[in-house]
Amino acid sequence: MRYQVIRLIVITFLASSLPIGFLPPGPGQCCYAAAPKAQNVHERAKKQQTSQKKKKIAQKSPGKTSAQKKKTSSYKKTTKRRAAGTAKDLHLTSRSVLVFDEASDRVVLSKNEDRKKSIASITKLMTAMVVLDAGLPLDEKITITKDDIDTIKHSSSRLAVGTTLARSELLRLALMSSENRAASALARTYPGGTRAFVAAMNAKAKSLGMYDTHFMDSTGLRSSNVSTANDLVRMVQAANAYPLIRIYSTSDVCEVPICGRMLPYKNTNVLVREGKWDIDISKTGYIREAGRCLVMRAKIEDRPMIIVLLDAQGKNSRIQDARAIESWIKSAKPGLVSGKNAAGTGPDTRG
């Protein structure tokens, strides 16, 4: 009995000192026959521990996660925005800005260029293109009627009801002096009338790729005449292909025979009147909802630039913005200007 107890103690002691998973051999078996199985168990345990360690390391320091990729993309966008966002550094008051270098076919300055804004009398550039596209006789006499009186903003005009002028003169006054009654008469005498004229304006806009632009009238007095700075670059480029628009929109002054006397008119763009800029296309615009607007195609440092300024605050703000842009371009070093591969009484709303 004592021998059996001692034998049991010895077997228990030996079993506790053997590798995990070892089973005592049966009769006639070597006591080391199960050792390879125990070794496999140890290897699997080590592999599991190694795998768990790798997972923990991967969780702490992953490779290229989607969050990192998003962060990198955001950084690129921020860098790009800063490159084209120097408008903020210039402290421009215009709420939408776009300066396009036609020579390099790239934007050099931008601010809210995709935001839809009311464009006021900038509309009249499209009015002029539709008139000229129609091939109507420019020497045909057109009489101002009561239908041409502004009942929206009640703006003033020196073209009294009954005034008769050639279509070309009305076109000049609409472009140069932003005459609303002239623009209204041009649309009214279009084949099919004003409604057909406005439809032609919108069709023309679509043909030019101006998909964020919509017109409701030929004068720009309606605040629902909207566009973006991007779209207006396209419109200015298209208008530049019309020699008469280039001439009329950049005339500084002219005299028109009205009621037996010559009445002087001047360009609404002071930069045209000053004569210091080399301007090919010019158009101003103003109604309360649109703010002060200005579009130009001008050469700066012998480079053709299209400048679009929308919703500037303050009477002279759009001119100050244009001058600031000119100075910035002239002082920019190579590589600094960069960006990615537009007779009555009442308030004066003639741009």
Catalytic hit among 124, 153, 204, 283: 124
Q: Would residue 124 show up in a list of annotated catalytic residues for this protein?
A: yes
- Total residues belonging to the chain: 351
Annotated catalytic residue, options 121, 218, 249, 317: 121
Note if 155 is an active site residue: no
Identify whether 121 is a catalytic site residue. Answer: yes
| Active-site residue, selected from the candidate residues 94, 178, 184, 218 | 178
Which residues have a catalytic role annotated? 121, 124, 178
